[in-house]
Homo-oligomer: A and B are copies of this chain.
Amino acid sequence: MGKRKRYLSRRPTSKKSLNQAPGTVTYVGSKETVETKLDIIDYNTTSYERFTSDSIEDAFKFEEENNVTWFNIDGLNNTGAITKLGKYYELHPLIIEDIVNTNQRPKIDEYQDYFFIVAKMLYRNKEGTLENEHISIVLGKNYVLSFQEAGGDVFDGVRQRLAGAKGRIRSRGADYLAFALLDAIVDNYFIVLEEISDKIEDIEERLLSVEPNDDITFEIQELKKTMLRIRRAVFPLREVVSRLEKVDGGLIDEQTVHYIRDLYDHILQVSENIEVYREMSWGLMDMYMTTISHKMNEVMKVLTIMASIFIPLTFLAGIYGMNFKYMPELDWEYGYPTLLIIMLLLFIGMMIYFKRKHWL
């Protein structure tokens, strides 16, 4: 099932779950063993407090108006707790469904008091296969809720900046925090793209140097599939950030818009790179095809040269191996050396012919 997941998205596809009413909150991802954990960071320009808990109820204690509070929830398995949190913050039922529905594509939903953003994180797991992680962000007036499928370290940089009071992050509002989280996700894409760049170069070099084998076809096909998956994660995000930039209402500060525009530039760059790599992987297939054809050509030439040289010579030898009674040549004293010389001349002639044809 894990394997199939790669291509297919959204709802569980067993008939039972398909008959569920829309809005039903079911976790459909594959990380079912991840415990749901809560990590709260409450800060303003001067103060900073961090609080970790296994119980989602602990989130309800943070309500100070002047601070920005970031609730980060790792693990989407405990749908009950997430529903409770959602109700506390008066989130629409469809949002709670989307938080745990790991197949939801990147999108932004604008509600009266908050924005709901879905994004995808990409990383390699221990086996080296690329994995999607479903990330949801709710941006309210002075709070940010972020939901991760599994606890990763992608947001650690943001946490460090918050803790160390590095950069502008502590002096800005929740909107800047949400931007910082998205920025961290997009930065991560560049790592994945670099791996793809390496992979493409690796395949190119192998096409050049060693004997290409059948598996390269499948590696290229895998590469293409990986690219298709990345594209599916990144392209809708482009629109998400573009809408975030243009949004009205008080949630996004004028100053943050500059940063969001910058983020948009970065996503454009990721998108362009994806398109470039896609074209390059098409080129790889073409290269492989011509390489095979070229090698086949080489093989054929060797065969043709060998056969063209020795088949006529063998024929000549066959002639004088015949047992006719009256074959005058056989009795000539220099018949044998004469024939050898003729064969040598034929051989040399052939070699020159093939040389001229650039087959040698």
Contacts and interface: CB of A to CB of B under 8 A. Distances in A.
A126 interface: no
Contacts of A8: 190, 193-194, 197, 273
B287 A290 contact: no
Contacts of A2: none
A194 B13 contact: yes
A156 B19 contact: yes
Given A22-B180, A293-B296, A296-B293, A105 B321 contact: no
A312 B306 contact: yes
A292 B301 CA distance: 12
A354 B66 CA distance: 78
Contacts of A180: 21-22
A187 interface: yes
Q: What's the number of copies of this chain in the assembled complex? A: 5
A325 interface: yes
A211 interface: yes
A198 B4 contact: yes
A163 interface: no
B190 A18 contact: yes
Interface in A258-307: 258-259, 261-263, 265-266, 268-269, 272-273, 276-277, 279-280, 283-297, 299-304, 306-307
Interface residues of A, number: 126
Q: Majority SS of interface residues in chain A? A: helix
A307 B297 contact: no
A67 interface: no
Given A194-B4, A221-B204, A292-B293, A308 B306 contact: yes
Contact of A23 (B9, B168, B300, B303): B168
A31 to B, nearest CB: 20
A311 B307 contact: yes
Interface in A168-217: 168-169, 179-180, 183-184, 187-188, 190-191, 193-194, 197-198, 200-201, 204, 208, 210-211, 213-214, 217
Interface of A: 3-4, 7-11, 13, 15, 18-24, 92, 94, 98, 103-105, 107, 109, 156-157, 160-161, 166-169, 179-180, 183-184, 187-188, 190-191, 193-194, 197-198, 200-201, 204, 208, 210-211, 213-214, 217-218, 221, 224-225, 228, 232, 258-259, 261-263, 265-266, 268-269, 272-273, 276-277, 279-280, 283-297, 299-304, 306-308, 310-315, 317-327, 329-336, 339, 358-359
